[in-house]
Structure 1
């Protein structure tokens, strides 16, 4: 443990400076991402997708049996057989930049700035931990900064593994800026000692698992919202409508099926880690308070969140609960996660009331 108060103060100041710098660079990255959408063109692929969405696919079923006809010269002439048609799924959109080289360059600049902001952000979290000589998530300010770091990390990881997903930049960076702005203006507290219950190695295990889970759940929720918008656009285009004022946005996104699959994969990927976080919390509770589970508000909402995500995954495995209904359930689950953090910590008193808000 660091026993030099001057060194601790210097590290704390460095952490604050790095955080302010990260927020500034995040803002530049967000503006560059917005500019990519603004100057990006719809692109040939997206223009063609509207026609594909409205065009019925070839019939994939046998013609229905005719039930009547007309008489011509004493011979019955059967009416043309009716066929079934279905909406053909449009292809993926061309991305935020469309086919504009200038917008594509703005998107690349946004990614580079996001990576730089992530490094500054990481440096702020690490120096905060060094300044307080403990895991840097012992209060709401520290948890918020770590959560925003994981949300950015999840976006960069998806970008690295799936290629061009820069269409995620605007909503992800907006929520990261909102989280960090709230953290530094409302939730900020100076480095302080932890309450006795938090003096445990389980702080590293349980809370870090919850932070990583929250970052991936956040990205999954963003993709789910975009899926709902794109799906409504595809339905409107198939019905012969224009698709609304945001048609140019929806047309550049991946297809609804692709977005739905990505959101499901993100949630199913991190759900085991969230399960582990809940179990680790119960083990920690037994070590701290002598019982594994006591229906404390924090424990209760963690369980509600787990049940909601479990129901979402079960719904996705059930034929009748795919698409929009499953997406709504996924958003409810993420809302429970957010309430468990902000609502329970600030407004509800319990054994976990150590938010540190002034």
Structure 2
């Protein structure tokens, strides 16, 4: 067995171990009808078992990471598959740290599935080992990316704890704050959209769906307009074709459930050969997520947040509020070093400038400013409880756009990580 084969097997093992540990963590959550003594004993016993399975899964992630590093010849964080897999490992690592401090089994019931979702999302991208481009071939890659991902991981744990606080404290009886109910349900809907996107991608991949659409690309060189044909491969039905697509390739696109595709072309202001495919992915994500959300609502016959709320009523809200704050307090200096300080040093070495207003640099700064404001409001203005929790929830949305949106939607020096 080669190192790369071992890494792939270890990745799959870790994925299934986390699925098992998620079920065990849910079982570890004590029921409301249990006596206080029985509740504590039940949570402590099954929490230890769940944590042990999670720790074994984390060890399997480490095997994946080290064996892929050996097989690839460089640290495996150079594309979206590798980075998102590494981020999932860091989230589990951050959860392990916070669990050892607070011993909260309920935190595992939400943190572990978040890592599972990210591992599944990573699998959407090509997993083949790719050679490092010259800008990435540096020791600063290890320092910058490792610390930045660890900072993101603690922000993700803070999000989980903040979401638990909101699920525990937002009331659903008549006369309660409807605005909080709507925003909490919107948050759950966003999570469902991601799950729906992963499901639809793997569905079309299992069906070996693939369509190639040709796009006419015009470039100006020395005052002359040159035209060439670029091929764009769609792995989902092309609702949106690339701008200025070649007619013959559009006519070859098969219909989907009786609907002639594509429905329209991407707008001309969307730059890049892959712009139409990326817009198509966004639309499929929303459609799949909305269908899945509607199906879950139909089964539950109530808002998802309202259905989950009774499961966390035995939780101490002050405890999860403290976990959320501590996670950000740990993650912020780590993120500052990795995503800003060491990133600027690397930028000076690679591109001969500390700062260049690249989209990824800008959004990393926005993320840093946001969590700076969080800590300021928490410490100086005493924003505890619901206000602090909503800030932590919104913070993860900013983090995910910095990680995914910038790489896959906005063109820049960091676009190689979207390959």
Task: List runs of 5+ in structure 1 lacking aligned partners.
Answer: 1-8, 46-93
Q: How does 1:253-272 map to 2 (within 5 A)?
A: 253-254=315-316, 256-272=317-333
Aligned to 1:203: 141
Separation (CA, whole Å) in 2 of partners of 1:30 and 1:208? 26
Deviation for aligned residue 1:100: 6.8
Cα shift readout 1:161-199 (whole Å, capped 9, x = no counterpart): 22x311111111111111111112x11321111111101
CA RMSD of aligned residues (A): 2.6
- Give yes or no for the alignment of 1:29 onto 2:90: no
1:17 to 4, 9, 23: 9
TM-score (norm 2): 0.64
C-alpha change, 1:107 and 1:14, in structure 2 (3 Å) is same
Higher Rg: 1
Structure 1 residues 28 and 100 mapped into 2: Cα distance closer, same or farther (>3 Å)? same
Alignment CA distance shift 1:245-1:141 (3 Å): closer
Distance across 2 between alignment mates of 1:246 and 1:275: 35
Counterpart among 52, 56, 64 of residue 116 in structure 1: 56
Render the CA deviation track for 1:71-90: whole Å, top value 9, x for unaligned.
xxxxxxxxxxxxxxxxxxxx
The unaligned stretches of length 5 or more in structure 2 are 177-304
SS in structure 2 of the partner of residue 321 of structure 1? coil
Q: C-alpha distance in 2, partners of 1:314/1:173?
A: 29
Distance 1:178 1:247 in 2: 21
Distance in 1 (CA, whole Å) between partners of 2:121 and 2:141 is: 23
Residues of 1 paired with 2:101 and 2:92: CA distance? 14
Matches within 5 A, 1:111-260: 111-162=51-102, 164-184=103-123, 186-233=124-171, 246=308, 248-254=310-316, 256-260=317-321
Q: Which residue of 1 aligns with 2:336?
A: 275
Aligned to 2:355: 293
Task: State the alpha-carbon separation in 2 of the partners of residues 131 and 176 from structure 1.
Answer: 24
Please state how far the C-alpha of 1:327 moved relative to its aligned partner: 2.3
> Structure 1 residues 43, 268: CA separation in 2 closer, same or farther (over 3 Å shift)?
same
- Relative to the length of structure 1, the TM-score reads 0.75
Q: d(CA) in 1 for partners of 2:12 and 2:312?
A: 33
Q: How does 1:64-143 map to 2 (within 5 A)?
A: 98=39, 101=42, 105-143=45-83
The aligned length equals 290
Residues 1:347 and 2:347 aligned together? no
**Partner secondary structure for residue 135 of structure 1:** coil
- Secondary structure in 1 matching 2:355: coil
